[in-house]
């Protein structure tokens, strides 16, 4: 059976805060979200390939026109990336950039997770089915049943929160495949781990302009996974996608290549396939 590819775009540019320009080492266009949303819809329409957009809640109202176009194309699922992009868990990288990020206080969790669900419903009529967690974590939310409970209460059925290895870094091995949070008492919530290198970290470490090399890395993963009957959850951001590639040339090239060899689904379609399969 062919492997599955889930493409998720974290749409999160918050000028002055996300991404940290000090960490990026350069200026990132303030209008990244607009530029990205206007162009990505054309790419997916043209290639007839589905994807999921994970929006930070605080930007939903500012980008309704673009998001409506994405929905109208029939190619996109829209889900969320929390209200303001704070880490849900503390990150302590033991290698690489050795970043330390303090996790959000629990008393703000409900607001940060619940608000985007309400906004997507109110402004776009979208039932938000999933959440991608800012920065991703080792073991995802396996050790946080308290957060899973909030996610479950908000009506969501999948998370994408496991993106780091035991050094709280990258890459995450492909052996970490999607799993339901049965042991935590939430058998209805599917975790879709983000394997490999996060695009931002690979490009931060190797050079933001090195699209060709990054593309080769992605292609090699497609070739390797093609016949392994696995699921690969791939992550790109609004701002990374247009950085040194405003016309999404490389993003299009990757999707074209992957679509020949893997079955591409939205996260929610994958959830349903997994649940019923
Ligand atoms: Zn993010």
150-163: average pLDDT: 98
Gap from CA of 1 to ligand 1 centroid (Å) = 32
Burial of 233 (C-beta count, 10 Å sphere; 0-12/13-18/19+): buried
The per-residue pLDDT for 2 is 86
Residues 6+ apart with CB under 8 A from 265: 4, 5, 6, 50, 273
119-136: average pLDDT: 98
Gap from CA of 104 to ligand 1 centroid (Å) = 14
Q: Model's pTM, two decimal places?
A: 0.98
Task: Determine what percent of the chain is predicted with pLDDT higher than 70.
Answer: 100
pLDDT above 90 (res 232): yes
Gap from CA of 49 to ligand 1 centroid (Å) = 23
Closest CA to 158 of 136, 178, 183: 178
Gap from CA of 81 to ligand 1 centroid (Å) = 7
Gap from CA of 222 to ligand 1 centroid (Å) = 24
pLDDT tens per residue across span 99-109: 999 999 999 99
The per-residue pLDDT for 1 is 66
pLDDT above 90 (res 97): no
Gap from CA of 275 to ligand 1 centroid (Å) = 27
CA distance 111 to 140: 20
168-190: average pLDDT: 98
The per-residue pLDDT for 277 is 75
Gap from CA of 246 to ligand 1 centroid (Å) = 19
In this structure, which topology does domain 4-276 adopt according to CATH? TIM Barrel (3.20.20)
243-257: average pLDDT: 98
Those residues whose beta carbon sits under 5 angstroms from the ion ligand 1 are 10, 12, 134
Q: Sketch the domain layout of the chain as residue ranges.
A: 4-276
Gap from CA of 124 to ligand 1 centroid (Å) = 21
């Amino acid at each position: 059976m062919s492997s599955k590819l889930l493409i998720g775009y974290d749409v999160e540019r918050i000028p002055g805060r996300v991404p940290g320009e000090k960490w990026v080492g350069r200026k990132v266009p303030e209008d990244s979200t607009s530029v990205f949303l206007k162009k990505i819809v054309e790419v997916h329409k043209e290639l007839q390939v589905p994807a999921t957009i994970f929006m930070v809640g605080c930007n939903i109202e500012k980008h309704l026109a673009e998001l409506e176009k994405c929905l109208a194309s029939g190619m996109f699922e829209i889900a969320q990336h929390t209200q303001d992009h704070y880490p849900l868990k503390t990150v302590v990288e033991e290698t690489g950039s050795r970043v330390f990020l303090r996790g959000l206080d629990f008393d703000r969790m409900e607001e940060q997770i619940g608000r985007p669900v309400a906004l997507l419903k109110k402004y776009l009529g979208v039932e938000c089915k999933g959440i991608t967690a800012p920065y991703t974590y080792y073991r995802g939310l396996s050790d946080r049943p308290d957060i899973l409970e909030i996610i479950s209460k908000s009506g969501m059925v999948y998370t994408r929160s496991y993106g780091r290895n035991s050094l709280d870094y990258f890459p995450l091995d492909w052996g970490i495949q999607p799993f339901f949070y049965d042991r935590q008492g939430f058998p209805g919530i599917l975790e879709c781990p983000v394997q490999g290198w996060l695009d931002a970290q690979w490009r931060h470490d190797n050079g933001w302009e090195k699209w060709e090399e990054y593309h080769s890395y992605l292609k090699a993963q497609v070739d390797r996974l093609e016949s392994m009957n696995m699921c690969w959850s791939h992550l790109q951001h609004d701002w990374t996608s247009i950085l040194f590639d405003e016309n999404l040339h490389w993003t299009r090239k990757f999707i074209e290549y992957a679509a020949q060899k893997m079955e591409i689904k939205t996260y929610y379609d994958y959830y349903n396939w997994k649940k019923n399969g």
